[in-house]
Amino acid sequence: MQYTTLTLNLDFLKSVRFKHDFDKAGYNLLWLDSQKLVALCKDQNTPMVPDSRLWSTDRFDTVMSGFINSNRKGYELPLAQLHLNYKAEGLISKAKRKLGMKVQEDALAYIGFSDGRHRIRLLYDLGVKRIPVVADKVNQEKLIELTSGSFEE
């Protein structure tokens, strides 16, 4: 298990510690521009959670407690895992291919989250500029391109 610490420098929270398991073949840590990621999700009709000020008290407290406790050994948070889904991968595109019709291969349909939508949204709402996530090698270059991301903080 490896760990990544995101320095926040907020008056009430200095850092958040994340865990990641790179034993999963093909997954890498990426640092994405939070504003571009949230804007991209909106552009692609990705189900991003609403502004954290609109959450229930219980939801906000749960996510914030995870951040606060993440610096204690054994309580580190998992990194959000992202993947891109393209229109060409859908059933309509598969049917078009079967019939010999043209399919637009690279049209991004939506960004999928395996975990971490609330953590990403709260970090964004707190003004964090770069957010750590994991993505597989198939998607990481495109995510970096779309969000001005990088492999390093």
Place of tokens 């200095």: 14
- Side by side, the strands of the sheet bearing 130-136 are 27-33, 130-136, 80-86, 108-115
117-125 vs 57-69: helix axis angle to the nearest 10?
90
- pLDDT of 146 above 70: yes
What pLDDT was estimated at residue 85?
74
**Distance of CA 80 to CAs 37, 44, 61, 112, 152, Å?**
12, 18, 19, 10, 16
Average pLDDT of the chain is 84
**Segment among 33-42, 94-103, 113-122 with least mean pLDDT:** 94-103
CA 46 to chain centre: 11
The reported pTM is: 0.81
pLDDT tens digits, one per residue of 24-81 = 667 888 999 999 998 888 776 677 788 999 999 999 999 999 999 998 888 999 988 8
State residue 109's pLDDT score: 66
Let me know if 11 is exposed, middle or buried by CB neighbors in 10 A (0-12, 13-18, 19+). Answer: exposed
Percent of the chain with pLDDT over 70: 85
